[in-house]
Amino acid sequence: MTTLHIDNSHHIREHLRERASATIKRRQFVSRLMIALCWVAIGLAALPLGDVIINLFSHGWSSVSSWAFYSQLPAQPTLVTPDAVGGVSNAIAGSAVILGYALLGALPIGIGIGVYTAESDSRFAATLRLVVATMVGAPSILMGLFAFGLVVVQLGMGFCIMAGSFAIGTMMLPVLAASTEIAVRNVPATLREAGLALGAKKSTTSLRIVLPAAITGIVSGAILAISRAIGETAPVLLVIGGSQAFTWKAGDFGEALPFMIYQDASSSYPAQRAQAWGIALFIVIVVFFLSLTARIWANSKQKERR
């Protein structure tokens, strides 16, 4: 019986080798064709991206390379001085303030939701998970409308920095929650079991053991959320009002880089339209370095664990 089984296995292997050798050329051709089509698809997808990057640098580099772009307040050009556009220092500061307030509110709530949905199997956790997944794919303008209706109208705060921070924070919240949940779920189960075996409560194990182990993914998710929020126009366009001065007070009118792009792009002065290109290039550079920093930091942490 054993000899018959060995003979059958030998015949099967021989048959598979014959079929493989007979079709090797066709399979190699199909493989090379598919790889070539993948490279063509990558090239086609990179064409519009490359065109955007080239246009950003060609139209905006003159603004970004000027110190006045970062140090001066915006100015209104006239027919006598059409190039006197000043800088965007107030918009840079305004975007930083709006993001700072947004992070203060969204970071603890988003991390808390992410940890809870990762550690709990309750029906409420499943509902939260569904809400987070829905909010991740929601258009950003809905967050602006929500902030306008709640903060500007219902609470009576008017157009202000706090309304912009609320809109940006609401948009960042699902990204933080989703990334935190993924990071916590990727923590090895042995760490949880070790904490529980030592007599720690489940909540203590989550806060003292699981959360520190997931800090790399949480920080990467936070940087991803900031990168997404820093260039969003719709949420801040509806609620911050616009300002020509520096301000950090939550109740004051605010300025932001995307809002200033909208203002400058619709100007009749070429210098202001060029400045809009410069602001867009500046945002792309900031997002690139934020993403690069997150990737390098995450890789370094992974090497330390190994």
Are both 191 and 287 inside the same structural domain?
A: yes
Residue 112 lies in a domain: yes
CA 292 to chain centre: 12
In a 13 Å sphere around the CA of 86, the CA atoms on its Cβ side amount to 15
DSSP per-residue letters across 154-199: IS---S-HHHHHHHHHHHHHHHHHHHHHHHHHTS-HHHHHHHHHTT
Are both 58 and 165 inside the same structural domain?
A: no
Q: What value does the mean pLDDT take over residues 252-280?
A: 86
- The predicted-structure confidence for 114-164, as pLDDT tens digits, reads as follows 888 888 888 888 888 888 888 887 888 888 888 888 888 888 888 888 888
Q: Which CATH number does the domain housing residue 113 bear? A: 1.10.3720.10
Are both 58 and 97 inside the same structural domain?
A: no
Are both 167 and 292 inside the same structural domain?
A: yes
The domain of 40 spans 1-65
Are both 126 and 268 inside the same structural domain?
A: yes
Three-point CA angle 148, 146, 140, nearest 5°? 105
Query: Phi then psi for 88, rounded to 5 degrees?
Result: -130, 30
- The predicted-structure confidence for 197-234, as pLDDT tens digits, reads as follows 777 777 777 777 777 778 888 888 888 888 878 877 77
CA dist., res. 99 & res. 238, Å (int): 16
pLDDT for position 282: 92
Are both 20 and 165 inside the same structural domain?
A: no
Q: Whole-number mean pLDDT of the chain?
A: 82
pTM: 0.79
Query: Percent of the chain, pLDDT > 70?
Result: 91
pLDDT for position 245: 76
Residue 120 lies in a domain: yes
Are both 165 and 122 inside the same structural domain?
A: yes
Q: Per the structure, how many domains does the chain have?
A: 2
- The predicted-structure confidence for 44-85, as pLDDT tens digits, reads as follows 988 988 888 888 888 888 888 888 888 888 888 887 787 888
